[in-house]
Amino acid sequence: MKQESLLEWPPMVRKLMCLAGLDDYDAEEVARRLPGETILRRRGADIISDGETPRYVHMVTSGLACRYKLLDDGRRQITAYLIPGDLCDLHVFILKRMDHAIMALTGTEIVQVPRQNVEALLARPTIATALFKSTLVDEAVLRQWIVNVGRRGAREAIAHLFCELHLRMQVVGLADGDVLQLPITQADLGDTVGLTPVHVNRSLQDLREQGLISLQAGRLSILNPAGLRRLAGFEPDYLHLDDGLRRLAKSSTRPDRHGQYLL
Amino acid sequence: MKQESLLEWPPMVRKLMCLAGLDDYDAEEVARRLPGETILRRRGADIISDGETPRYVHMVTSGLACRYKLLDDGRRQITAYLIPGDLCDLHVFILKRMDHAIMALTGTEIVQVPRQNVEALLARPTIATALFKSTLVDEAVLRQWIVNVGRRGAREAIAHLFCELHLRMQVVGLADGDVLQLPITQADLGDTVGLTPVHVNRSLQDLREQGLISLQAGRLSILNPAGLRRLAGFEPDYLHLDDGLRRLAKSSTRPDRHGQYLL
DNA sequence: CGCAGGGTTGACATCGGTCAAGGCCAGTGG
DNA sequence: CCACTGGCCTTGACCGATGTCAACCCTGCG
């Protein structure tokens, strides 16, 4: 099971290879430790509830989930998207109780990894560092998200979200060039950028009219990547992909397109 | 140097004791490792710049600093407040370059801790866990902040910020009952909750007229803590103080007031 | 066929932004 | 000591982005 490129590895492994330059030896170890019982959640179902103390570490393997918080009066704010390869609750090793909930945004497959498997991974310094780096990047994404909601207008914020998802999907091998599956609701989008569903709708119209994207039937196509990034002010440095971008470009079937991010 | 209560310990130690229940033995070790060269920054000066690779680990020891990001056109978003006892850049052990900057919001004293001192601390499992927990709480604060900016109105958001600062200041022993030093500008407040300075001004008037706070000469007095928390929808669970709140209440000179948060 | 969920649209309301003026106060230099 | 200046706070008039409400459409599905 030796491979030269990123291709063929499961999402989590791809992510760690891009992010932390994991070698094939460590990669194989990660791949070996991560399986567990698979559970399915349909759109809208909680994967982990607020206040809960999960017994396993959960990893998304297909579909799309989100972290979110609910206010008393029903307002909702999504604080992160979890795509295949993302761990839901590594922090429960230390924090005990969830201070937010996680739900499926589409039909989603989750693996319940036994804690001792994760502990075995953490015992290897290179892997522990890689996992730790990935949580630090999650933190950087949160900061960027605050900027998005606090200081960007509606179209900018949505555009930025799309740029980020595009790149993250590419990392785990789930983007087909410039199109990605994103079968979520405009209300969901609103809850992630702090807008009303109807305003999301109008903003999307805008982006479409400008020829930047198309979004239909749960497929997001980025028609003009450079334009979208310009509008959004998207600077991918906060994802700390560093030379992971180069690896990505090299292993891709369309190096020219991914190469754009190298600029 | 044995002490029964939290009192007398420096802010960082108090924080870790409240957060992770450090015992006196570990506390002393932390206190011993943390000194370093002290630097001063005046209001508005960067402590660490965007893109930089700090050589030391920086810790705020007095004053107030913030993490922030700048957009191309000059818009600014503050993503975190750093109060005494907070580390600025623990993540640079792993991430190499800063993806945001840190500046002083008031005259601020910062200690540059040599990396090997921090490494020595991390070598002790209980202390490493405590430090790790503190970065996880930082992450929880970021999530809460997204809710603040995305889903709360102007007054709610400001009120929530004040509640959070109040509690955090109490933890490190810098709140005098319900009043705290907060000599920052209304423009700064705006950049933290995503508002314009003039709207911050109007919102503050509101809070004052409702008898919830007073804010003058850099002193924030919380006149009606319960009312402010109700307006803000403040739920301190995300700070994961757990029984740290009980320790706080016990060691306080005014246990009745702090005890409120135990509800 | 009817229903439910989601997208779309229009009219209108509100919140928060913009611009501009004036006030207050501390620091500074004459 | 005073005048001036620069920050910051405050206020008012007005504007624009986003929210609210309501209707209608379309599609998938029971």
Q: What one-character-per-residue DSSP string does A63-76 give? A: S-EEEEEE-TTS-E
- Distance of C1' in D16 from CA in B200, Å: 18
- Distance, CA of A40 to CA of A52 (rounded, Å): 19
Tell me the average pLDDT across B30-55. 94
- Phi/psi for B194 (5° steps) reads 75, 35
| In the predicted structure, residue A161 carries a pLDDT above the cut 50 | yes
pLDDT digits (tens, 9 = 90+) for B83-115: 999 999 999 889 989 999 999 999 999 999 999
- Does B199 contact strand C, using a CB cutoff of 7 Å? yes
Tell me the average pLDDT across B206-235. 96
| In the predicted structure, residue A255 carries a pLDDT above the cut 50 | no
Residue with the larger pLDDT of the pair A244 and B133 = B133
Band (pLDDT 50/70/90 cuts) for residue B258 is: very low
Q: Which nucleotide is nearest to B216 (CA to C1')?
A: D9
| In the predicted structure, residue A13 carries a pLDDT above the cut 80 | yes
What letter represents residue A173's amino acid? G
- Distance of C1' in D27 from CA in B255, Å: 61
- Phi/psi for B35 (5° steps) reads -60, 160
Tell me the average pLDDT across B213-225. 95
Q: Nearest chain B residue to A237 by CA: give it.
A: B99
Q: Among A75, A143, A151, whose Cβ lies nearest the Cβ of B142?
A: A143
DSSP B159-210: HHHHHHHHHHHHHTT--BTTEEE----HHHHHHHHT--HHHHHHHHHHHHHT
Q: What is the pLDDT of residue B4?
A: 58
CA distance A260 to chain B (A): 20
CA distance B125 to chain A (A): 12
Burial class (CB in 10 A: 0-12, 13-18, 19+), B243: exposed
Burial class (CB in 10 A: 0-12, 13-18, 19+), B214: middle
Among A14-23, A226-235, B75-84, the minimum mean pLDDT is found in A14-23
Mean pLDDT of chain B: 91
- Does A197 contact strand C, using a CB cutoff of 7 Å? yes
Question: Up-side HSE of residue B73: CA atoms within 13 Å toward CB?
Answer: 8
Q: What is the pLDDT of residue B252?
A: 63
Q: How many CB atoms lie within 10 A of CB B233?
A: 18
| In the predicted structure, residue A262 carries a pLDDT above the cut 80 | no
Q: Cβ contact (<8 Å) for A151 and B72? A: no
Tell me the average pLDDT across B54-79. 96
CA distance B29 to chain A (A): 21
| In the predicted structure, residue B256 carries a pLDDT above the cut 80 | no
Eight-class DSSP state of A176: B
Tell me the average pLDDT across A42-52. 95
Tell me the average pLDDT across B206-224. 95
Tell me the average pLDDT across B24-49. 93
Retrieve residue B152's tokens: 């709360």
- Distance, CA of B38 to CA of B109 (rounded, Å): 7
Eight-class DSSP state of B101: E
Provide Rg for chain A, Cα atoms: 18
What CA–CA distances, in Å, run from A228 to A10, A211, B7, B75?
29, 9, 54, 19
Q: What is the pLDDT of residue B246?
A: 79
Q: Nearest chain B residue to A70 by CA: give it.
A: B147
Band (pLDDT 50/70/90 cuts) for residue A257 is: very low
Cβ proximity of A30 and A24 under 8 Å: no
Taken in order A58, A63, A64, A65, is the CA torsion positive or negative?
negative
| In the predicted structure, residue A162 carries a pLDDT above the cut 70 | yes
| In the predicted structure, residue B128 carries a pLDDT above the cut 80 | yes
Among A71-85, A148-162, A249-263, B22-36, the minimum mean pLDDT is found in A249-263
Q: What is the pLDDT of residue B263?
A: 34
Predicted model pTM: 0.93
Q: How many CB atoms lie within 10 A of CB A224?
A: 15
pLDDT digits (tens, 9 = 90+) for A53-69: 999 999 999 999 999 99
Using an 8 Å CB-CB cutoff, list residues of chain A that contact chain B. 51, 67, 69, 71-72, 75-77, 79-80, 91, 94-97, 99-100, 129, 132-133, 135-140, 142-147, 149-152, 191, 193-194, 233, 237-238, 240, 242
- Distance of C1' in C26 from CA in B217, Å: 13
Q: What is the pLDDT of residue A88?
A: 96
CA B99 to chain centre: 20
Using an 8 Å CB-CB cutoff, list residues of chain B that contact chain A. 67, 69, 71-72, 75-77, 79-80, 91, 94-97, 99-100, 129, 132-133, 135-140, 142-147, 149-152, 191, 193-194, 233, 237-238, 240, 242
Eight-class DSSP state of A87: B
Tell me the average pLDDT across A2-17. 80
- Distance, CA of A104 to CA of A66 (rounded, Å): 6
- Does B153 contact strand D, using a CB cutoff of 7 Å? no
Interface size, chain A vs chain B, as Cβ–Cβ contacts under 8 Å: 117
Q: Nearest chain B residue to A238 by CA: give it.
A: B99
What CA–CA distances, in Å, run from A151 to A160, A166, A254, B72, B196?
12, 21, 34, 12, 10
Residue with the larger pLDDT of the pair B67 and B262 = B67
Q: What is the pLDDT of residue B257?
A: 44
Within residues 155-174 of protein chain B, the ones with CB less than 7 A from nucleic strand C are 155
| In the predicted structure, residue B223 carries a pLDDT above the cut 90 | yes
| In the predicted structure, residue B46 carries a pLDDT above the cut 60 | yes
What letter represents residue A26's amino acid? D
Within residues 29-58 of protein chain A, the ones with CB less than 7 A from nucleic strand C are 43
| In the predicted structure, residue A84 carries a pLDDT above the cut 50 | yes
Q: How many CB atoms lie within 10 A of CB A70?
A: 14
pLDDT digits (tens, 9 = 90+) for A104-154: 999 999 999 999 999 999 999 999 999 999 999 999 999 999 999 999 999
Kindly provide the residue ranges of all beta strands, DSSP E only, lying in B94-143, ordered along the sequence: 101-104, 108-113
Residue with the larger pLDDT of the pair A50 and B263 = A50
Q: Which of A130, A195, A210 is nearest to A161 (CA)?
A: A195
**A63: phi > 0 → left, psi -120 to 50 → alpha, else beta; which?**
left
Band (pLDDT 50/70/90 cuts) for residue A248 is: confident
Chain A residues closer than 8 Å to B129 by CB? 94
